[in-house]
Amino acid sequence: MVGGLKPGFGAYAASKAAVETMVKILAKELKGTAITANCVAPGPIATEMFFNGKTEEMVQKVIDESPLSRLGETKDVAPFVGFLATDASEWINGQVIRVNGGYC
């Protein structure tokens, strides 16, 4: 979750919590369909949306808070999302998978 549980992120955090809860319920509601429901929760990813409205100092602070000392990139997340779309992930269901480099 970008920003974690920090002041100013209340609405954002609440919307993400709702999605995470919905996925857990949806996984149960899809019983018998062979359809799985999971949620990928990326950390801060270097996209236009992430950079929008942030100063260089704000971006650097996020980088400094990251255990891997960098922002994530779409190439860090996309392979995992692709994996979830394959049969190899059929036993992963109702999960929130944090693809965030350890950023909390």
Is 103 labeled as catalytic in the residue annotation? no
Q: Which two tokens stand for residue 6?
A: 């920090």
Which one of 4, 6, 12, 35 is the catalytic residue? 12
How far does CA 78 lie from the centroid of its chain? 11
> How many C-alpha atoms does 19 have within 13 Å on its Cβ side?
13
Residues serving a catalytic function are: 12
